[in-house]
Chains A and B, each alone.
Chain A
């Protein structure tokens, strides 16, 4: 290649780079927006809070070593890179010049302090299990941290991505006791006022480390529990961004001119735990009979207006462990087959059908309609399902206490890794094993995948597990749906909803007015 051609190629490359680096649309600095949220935070400490809704608030004020991008892939955040020299060692290189909201520089010492804080049983962190395999956190230098593990841990990196990886400043915890009422992190927005049950006001953090971000001067999260009020506020323009839980309301919003929405992968799925220790579901044939009586597509079409997907134990949003869609459709007992049901009932010693109680709550708009469709489908097979509707708190009490009940149903949402979530639900020693399911083979596979760092091997194990559960039916997952339906004003640009119902992309959103 001659010098000129090299120069030409270089020029082409440079102009391409310049074009790629240039903003796709002209982002504008300034402006504030109002976000309508369905619930308020219960405590703002990312390491301590129990409430799902708290994340909608603290996620803007904190950042961690890694983060999820819009495709739910892990990328560096406070860590610019990391290495795994051997399966029990993780080394993170930290970004330089990162400031906490109180002005102090964040260093490796803070990362160690934050992880040790979660690991300390005295802290009482609900995410302590994340670091169950961590033996020590070591500061190598001001910008390098090393985690030493007692055993290989395949889920560590994805579980750390999120609040368990958030870095907190020690002096603020020493000053306030904890971070439940204040938010001082390294995130793009600072919390300046929080009135419980009403609103929280965030402003731009001028020393945020991603150059030029965020574009917005700030935003207010307004707590609006009533879904139709949220949509009405959006229509009137008193709210710029909100999310919706009921498919019917979402349908209204979609048909409305001038509102924006976007589809994210389905991260929420309905669980029906069948108690495998008491009759009738201590008999696997009868559990299979229930599964084979269901027409899942009909449930999706009726309850979710068609906006749902067939799912196995792992919902579509938890890439890469989800089963391929064409395989899910062919899993055992996934097709309605009343002939098969008859056979299963005979083999299960209940040729004339049987009766059971199904507990759920009107807490989410899809629970009761789903129960009613299932009830009708089962009735055709001679199985009588009695629906018992209880108040949400009462249902959770039954669920947590492990009290005797035959079937209990509610939905759960996306989690960064099946470990610690699905594991906890289906391991014989799991804390949320409401099916009281005990299968030594499953326990063995679950233990194995948690020690495996090879992603391909983990994927294979999780696929096998999902096939076993479809056969054993300790839990029925009738459908998966989106965790939230985000709807926003067309003037808000650059916002990208995520499958885990996170709004962190507000850091690169701007107003076009």
Chain B
């Protein structure tokens, strides 16, 4: 087991290396750099000043040299400094990561708390009206773009629900209760990306288990329907749900850039969007690497949990 974990962790390095090469080269394929972008509205086209700035940021160097310089720093834990703020990239990321972790945890908790019972209900009432309704709602929920739901929430909230706690942010350390209240609506909107998946996954897994022999055995023993589903089927179905939830939590942490932007939350997504628009190369690379690491780590944790929950995997 220990060797397995060690091997999995060691495999992180080549993946991260690959990601960094990819991100580094891809961002240089896009035309323009930060000097082009920020000097757009500048009246005087002072080329010497622009050249000077490029030199300071090493943007005048060949891309391979820029990469080697960056890797040199990254290997010692230095992800470089943001072109925009001049502050260390690692600090910029650490400042925002908690917002994403909090949002993802709240959204996932909501999705699980609601999704598993609803999915189970859908399976038990298979092919009835309840099932049809749940299936329709989950396809609809999954099909709506999250940024659209977010925009609509903000619009409705600002026009007709003056008390709805949105469009503000207070750090957890400053006021934990207020922080949770302000993140509630955004995390509910975010959870809509995961909730339908969990519902459908739970439904499929429960249905599959209901057809298995041990269910018949349990029923034959005289276990009631609630006991069969609640004790036996659900426990066995959770493994499949865990797999989905594991991958989705990675998506929640990193992927919902526009939703963060619309709710004005200071998370990694907004940082990434801003850095792409401004061609802030060190930040783009740093954020992508951190997100890749989070993804890989979560996958690893899910795999290990899988082993804990399902003794067959351990053999």
Contacts and interface: CB of A to CB of B under 8 A. Distances in A.
Q: Do A and B bind each other?
A: yes
Interface of A: 40, 42-43, 49-52, 121, 124-129, 180-181, 195-198, 222, 224-226, 228-229, 231-233, 235-236, 238, 390-394, 396-398, 400, 410, 412-413, 415, 420-421, 424, 430-432
Nearest to B45: A431
Contacts, number: 145
Contacts of A124: 48-49, 52-53
Interface in B78-111: 82-87, 92, 95
A13 B114 CA distance: 77
A390 B37 CA distance: 14
B286 interface: no
A396 B32 contact: yes
Nearest to B154: A232
B215 interface: no
Given A198-B266, A224-B264, A236-B162, A420 B274 contact: no
Classify chain B: how many residues form its interface, as a range: 35 or more
Given A42-B38, A52-B41, A236-B167, 6 more contacts: A42-B84, A50-B39, A121-B48, A196-B85, A392-B37, A431-B46
Given A40-B84, A224-B264, A232-B158, A197 B30 contact: no
A interface majority secondary structure: loop
A432 B83 CA distance: 24
B291 to A, nearest CB: 17
Interface string B254-268: 000000011110100
Contacts of A412: 41, 43
Nearest to B162: A236
B44 A424 contact: yes
B85 A181 contact: yes
A399 to B, nearest CB: 8
Contacts of B86: 43, 180-181
A140 to B, nearest CB: 29
Contact of A431 (B44, B151, B158): B44
Contacts of A195: 95, 266
Contacts of B261: 225-226, 229
Contact of B158 (A126, A197, A235, A394): A235
Given A124-B52, A396-B32, A42 B166 contact: no
A126 B159 contact: no
Interface of B: 30-50, 52-53, 82-87, 92, 95, 151, 154-155, 157-159, 162, 166-168, 261-264, 266, 270-271, 273-274, 277-279
A129 B42 CA distance: 13
Contacts of A225: 261, 273-274
B84 A432 contact: no
Nearest to B168: A238
Nearest to A390: B31
Nearest to B270: A197
A229 B86 CA distance: 27
A317 to B, nearest CB: 14
A413 B42 CA distance: 9
Given A124-B53, A126-B49, A430-B45, A228 B36 contact: no
A42 B83 CA distance: 8
Nearest to A363: B40
26 contacts: A42-B34, A42-B38, A42-B84, A49-B38, A51-B38, A51-B39, A181-B87, A195-B95, A195-B266, A197-B85, A197-B266, A197-B274, A226-B262, A229-B263, A232-B167, A236-B167, A391-B32, A392-B277, A393-B36, A393-B279, A410-B40, A412-B43, A415-B43, A420-B44, A424-B45, A431-B44
A4 to B, nearest CB: 60
Contact of A233 (B48, B49, B162, B167): B167
A420 B43 contact: yes
Contacts of A235: 158-159
Given A196-B82, A198-B266, A400-B36, A236 B157 contact: yes
A394 B264 contact: no
Given A238-B168, A394-B30, A397-B36, A232 B155 contact: yes
Contacts of A410: 40
Given A50-B42, A229-B154, A396-B32, A236 B84 contact: no
A394 B31 contact: yes
Nearest to B85: A196
A382 to B, nearest CB: 33
Contacts of B31: 390-391, 393-394, 397-398
A215 B169 CA distance: 26
A197 B39 CA distance: 18
A229 B262 contact: yes
In the A-B complex, the 5 residue pairs with the smallest Cβ-Cβ separation, listed nearest first, are A431-B45, A393-B32, A196-B85, A52-B41, A232-B158
B159 A50 contact: no
Contacts of A52: 38, 40-42
A229 B167 contact: yes
A352 to B, nearest CB: 35
B277 to A, nearest CB: 8
- Which interface residue of B82, B86, B92, B159 has the most chain A CB atoms within 10 A? B86
A196 B84 contact: yes
Nearest to A177: B86
Contact of B44 (A42, A129, A228, A232): A129
Contacts of B151: 228
Given A43-B86, A125-B49, A391 B30 contact: yes
A318 to B, nearest CB: 11
Contacts of B92: 196-197
B289 to A, nearest CB: 18
A368 to B, nearest CB: 17
Contacts of A129: 44, 46
A32 B138 CA distance: 45
Contacts of A420: 43-44
Contact of A396 (B40, B83, B273): B40
A420 B43 CA distance: 7
Contacts of B155: 228, 232
A238 B170 CA distance: 12
Contact of A128 (B39, B46, B157): B46
A50 B38 contact: yes
A431 to B, nearest CB: 3
A232 B45 contact: no
A236 B160 CA distance: 10
Contacts of A127: 44, 46
B266 to A, nearest CB: 4
Given A181-B86, A228-B151, A430-B45, A233 B158 contact: yes
Contacts of B43: 412, 415, 420-421, 424
Contacts of B278: 42
A121 B32 CA distance: 25
A237 B166 CA distance: 11
A443 B149 CA distance: 56
B49 A394 contact: no
A431 B51 CA distance: 13
Contacts of B279: 393
A398 B31 CA distance: 9
A421 B32 contact: no
- Which interface residue of A40, A124, A413 has the most chain B CB atoms within 10 A? A124
A231 B92 CA distance: 27
